[in-house]
């Protein structure tokens, strides 16, 4: 249950130091409780250090933060909650940013050199976008997932978006160079073709031509499972995690879908005059 703090808080104008100190002392328990409740979402921050830092920030310059609480706020509790959230986001971001942004880019580039100029350039671009308007993008975090996961998703999103926008924004293209374009270049061969494995190349091409039609007939879950396995090259455990089932069930589902596709293609080939069933 949330602590209710409704002191004789008169927010009609700025507070003086004595009032601010009073509010601060009264809210200390609430601050600690709130940070303790939220800290698990902000791995790798720890409760002791973070709460100490936040309290010190409130005390700085004669409780400047508390004294500057805007006049139209509903109550100290709401303001503090926002302050705590922003503080946690900021601290967690600076604790994770360097390592995470760099590693996500290195993974993408397939580079093990952290000093690679491309890694540094793209890293700067990502950081610039994230830190725009006082971490505005990150501060939209609603605390429904772990901040670390949110940060990874946001960074990955920015990387992918930058590539997509490249065609439209010429400035970016010259700035980040041609290596950046190659980052998300789709593979030349259609990975879904891996579904069909036949010895006869002509026959295989015919079967592959039916594939898009067959995939269209699948329901959204089946289609997603096939995409995850063949397009995104995901492991069975990751597919199971996505579908929200066990690894065993995901394995059975994959087999069933693959059989379904084989059967459909075999039927279509049969209609086309060939009688052999496509193998998997």
Partner 1 sequence: MKHLEDEDIARMIDGTISKRERERFLEHLSGCDSCLSVYSESLKFIEEEKKNRVMLKLPRVGVVIDGWRRQARTFFAGNRLMPVYAVLLIVVVLLPFLLKENAQVHYIEECVTEMEVRGIHQFSGSNDPVYASVRAGIFVEEISVLIDYGGKEDLRGKLAARLFKELKVLFNDEAVSLLPDPGHLEEESFDVVVRSMGTMLDKRRLSGLFQFGRFVERGILVSVDGKRPLAEEVERYRRLVAGEYHDKLPPGVLKELNKFGAVTGINESKEILTGIKDIFLAAE
Judged by CB under 8 A, does residue 240 bind partner 1? no
Q: In angstroms, what CA-CA distances link 148 with 22, 151, 156, 240, 269? A: 35, 5, 12, 22, 49
Judged by CB under 8 A, does residue 232 bind partner 1? yes
Considering the complex, what minimum distance in angstroms separates the CB of residue 248 from partner 1? 18
- Paired tokens of 19: 């009032």
Q: At 185, is the secondary structure helix, strand, or coil?
A: coil
Considering the complex, what minimum distance in angstroms separates the CB of residue 280 from partner 1? 21
In angstroms, rounded to a whole number, what is the distance separating the alpha carbons of residues 254 and 174?
A: 43
Q: Which is nearer to partner 1, 6 or 237 (CB)?
A: 237
Judged by CB under 8 A, does residue 52 bind partner 1? no
Q: Which is nearer to partner 1, 58 or 154 (CB)?
A: 154
In angstroms, rounded to a whole number, what is the distance separating the alpha carbons of residues 52 and 230?
A: 49
In angstroms, rounded to a whole number, what is the distance separating the alpha carbons of residues 87 and 146?
A: 15
> Where in 67-106 is the site for partner 1 (CB under 8 A)?
103-104
In angstroms, rounded to a whole number, what is the distance separating the alpha carbons of residues 220 and 27?
A: 50
Residue 138 is given by DSSP the state G
Considering the complex, what minimum distance in angstroms separates the CB of residue 92 from partner 1? 13
Q: Which is nearer to partner 1, 90 or 231 (CB)?
A: 231
Q: At 278, is the secondary structure helix, strand, or coil?
A: coil
Q: In angstroms, what CA-CA distances link 97 with 135, 155, 214? A: 12, 9, 43
Judged by CB under 8 A, does residue 107 bind partner 1? yes
Judged by CB under 8 A, does residue 111 bind partner 1? no
Q: Which of 120, 160, 182, 252 binds partner 1 (CB under 8 A)?
A: 160
Q: Kindly list the residues in this chain that would bind partner 1 in the complex (CB under 8 A).
A: 103-104, 107-108, 140-142, 144-146, 148-150, 152-154, 156-157, 160, 164, 184, 220-221, 223-224, 227-228, 231-232, 234-235, 237-238, 241-244
């Amino acid at each position: 249950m949330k602590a209710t703090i409704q002191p004789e808080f008169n927010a009609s104008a700025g507070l003086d130091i004595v009032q601010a100190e009073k509010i601060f002392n009264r809210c200390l328990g609430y601050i600690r409780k709130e940070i303790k409740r939220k800290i698990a979402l902000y791995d790798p921050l720890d409760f002791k250090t973070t709460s100490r830092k936040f309290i010190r920030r409130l005390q700085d310059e004669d409780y400047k933060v508390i004294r500057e609480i805007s006049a139209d706020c509903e109550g100290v509790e709401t303001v503090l909650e926002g302050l705590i959230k922003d503080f946690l986001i900021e601290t967690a971001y600076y604790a994770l940013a360097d390592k995470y942004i760099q590693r996500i880019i290195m993974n993408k580039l397939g580079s093990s050199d952290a000093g690679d100029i491309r890694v540094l350039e793209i890293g700067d671009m990502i950081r610039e976008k994230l830190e725009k308007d006082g971490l505005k993008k990150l501060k939209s975090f609603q605390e429904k997932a772990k901040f670390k996961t949110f940060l990874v998703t946001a960074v990955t999103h920015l990387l992918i978006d930058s590539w997509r926008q490249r065609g439209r924004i010429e400035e970016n293209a010259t700035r980040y160079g041609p290596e950046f374009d190659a980052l998300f270049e789709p593979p030349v061969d259609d990975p879904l073709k891996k579904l069909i494995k036949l010895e006869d190349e002509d026959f295989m091409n015919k079967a592959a031509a039916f594939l898009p039609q067959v995939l269209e007939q699948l329901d959204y879950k089946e289609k997603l499972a096939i995409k995850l396995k063949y397009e995104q090259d995901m492991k069975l455990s990751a597919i199971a995690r996505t579908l929200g089932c066990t690894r065993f069930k995901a394995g059975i589902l994959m087999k069933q879908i693959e059989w379904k596709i084989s059967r459909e293609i075999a039927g279509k080939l049969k209609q086309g005059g060939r009688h052999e069933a496509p193998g998997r």
